[in-house]
Chains A and B, each alone.
Chain A
Amino acid sequence: MIVTINGVKKEIPENIRTVERLLEHLQVQDKKLVVEMNGEILNKDQHGQFRLKSGDVLEIVHFVGGG
């Protein structure tokens, strides 16, 4: 299926059905991050419950140096 992640359309394997699995697929599951899906901010403990479907728009953000 195709989802938009951080503004980029990305093809992901069909067996990746949840946000939790997607983060593992992207190898960022151990990072401190926040996921927003279709405009809704997800709680970290809910990542396993949110199911992905084609056309979903995700933002994966983190903290970087800044003043």
Chain B
Amino acid sequence: MLKIGSYTFHSRLFLGTGKFPSADIQKEAIQKSETEVLTFAVRRMNIFDPEQPNFLENIDLSKFTLLPNTAGAKTAEEAVRIAKLAKAAGMCDMIKVEVIGCDKTLLPDPVETLKATEKLLEEGFTVLPYTSDDVVLAKRLQELGAHAIMPGASPIGTGLGIINPFNLSHIIEQATVPVIVDAGIGSPKDVAYAMELGADAVLLNSAVSGAKDPVKMAEAMKYAVIAGRLGFEAGRISKKYYAEASSPMEGLIRL
């Protein structure tokens, strides 16, 4: 069981809702993933063409815990405004703080992320900041009272997987709140790796929505999360420099 603030989840897979090829594929992928948490963004409505399709209207959002993000924000102030708008919809008090500090890498701005987290905690939100894999920053966010830490595996949408397992392990080891690996994951292998390192959950979007078959990938990711988590709980063997036979050395048949 995964606990974040006052929420409890069975599934350790959080799914983003961006860039799916169609509403039906998105719906089916969500189903197959068995996720309980969906993320989404807050944007201006196109009031001059209100009939343009919005895939989210296809999903019964009441069945999920909703985790809106503050994507698009470049300052703490903008992030707080987006968070308040999201909360006003009356469907959630969780917020993924995402304050981008670099357009090329989409890496988060650590200073603004910290400020936004502090402010939103004061306002009573359940706050999950998206952060780089900086060990000290993760600690500072946790000390502020963040309800979970969401370090990126690698930059958003790159599919490069976990590029710094060392940092990620340290973040996980020192964590007193759940660690959700967010961003950069490309394949089920990356998911299993994150979970084996001891992550409490993963948040995926492009890895599923951009796959050749998003529905099948959603299912694959579900199993990867389960396999990785079980592997972590089971405790892997240590790595050795020399071979060690798994068959007995006694009773060898000789010529």
A positions within 8 Å CB-CB of B: 5-8, 26-28, 31-34, 36, 41-44, 59-67
Is B156 engaged at the interface, CB distance under 8 Å to the other chain?
yes
Scan residues 198-225 of chain B and give those whose CB is less than 8 A from a CB of chain A: 203-206
Interface residues on B, range: 35 or more
CB atoms of A36 and B44 under 8 A apart: no
State the CA gap A41–B84 with chains docked (Å): 8
Closest to A66 in B: B41
- B44 contacts A60, CB within 8 Å? yes
Inter-subunit contact B50/A27 (CB<8 Å):
yes
Of B47, B48, B206, which one neighbours A67 at CB under 8 angstroms?
A: B206
* A6 with B44, Cβ < 8 A, contacts A32-B89, A41-B88 known: yes
Interface locus among B14-22, B112-120, B236-244: B14-22
B3 within 8 A of A: no
In the complex with contacts A5-B47, A43-B88, A64-B56 CB distance below 8 A? yes
The interface centre, meaning the residue of A7, A44, A60, A66 with most chain B CB atoms within 10 A of its CB, is A66
A67 near B18: Cβ-Cβ < 8 Å: yes
Contact call B18/A7, Cβ cutoff below 8 A: no
A36 — nearest CB in chain B belongs to which residue?
B85
* Contact across chains for A67 and B42 when beta carbons are under 8 A apart: no
Closest Cβ neighbor of B43 among chain A residues: A64
Residues of B within 8 A of A (CB): 16-20, 26, 39-45, 47-48, 50, 54-56, 66, 68-69, 71, 84-86, 88-91, 156, 183, 203-206
Given contacts A33-B45, A41-B85, A67-B39, contact A62 B90 (CB under 8 A): no
Is B42's CB under 8 angstroms from A65's CB? no
| Residues in A whose Cβ lies below 8 Å from that of B45 | 6, 28, 31, 33, 60-62
Contacts known (A64-B56, A66-B69, A67-B16); A31 close to B44, Cβ less than 8 A: no
Task: Name the residue among B56, B66, B91, B156 with the largest chain A CB count within 10 angstroms.
Answer: B56
Residues of A within 8 A of B44 (CB): 6-7, 59-61
Report B108 CB to chain A, min CB distance, Å.
Answer: 13
Q: Are A66 and B89 in contact (CB under 8 A)?
A: no
Closest to A58 in B: B47
Extra contacts besides A63-B89, A64-B54 (14): CB < 8 Å? A6-B47, A7-B44, A32-B89, A34-B85, A42-B88, A60-B45, A63-B56, A64-B43, A65-B17, A65-B19, A65-B20, A65-B26, A67-B16, A67-B203
Q: Flag if A66 contacts B50 (CB, 8 Å).
A: no
Q: Across the interface, which residues of B come within 8 angstroms of A59, CB to CB?
A: 44, 85
Q: Which of A41, A61, A65 contacts B55 (CB 8 A)?
A: A65
B50 engages A31 (CB within 8 Å): yes
The distance in angstroms between the C-alpha atoms of A42 and B48, with both chains bound, is: 21
Q: Which of A33, A60, A66 contacts B17 (CB 8 A)?
A: A66
A-B contacts, 20 of them at CB < 8 A, read A6-B47, A8-B48, A32-B91, A33-B89, A34-B86, A41-B88, A44-B90, A59-B85, A60-B44, A60-B45, A60-B47, A61-B44, A62-B43, A63-B43, A65-B20, A65-B56, A66-B69, A66-B205, A67-B203, A67-B204
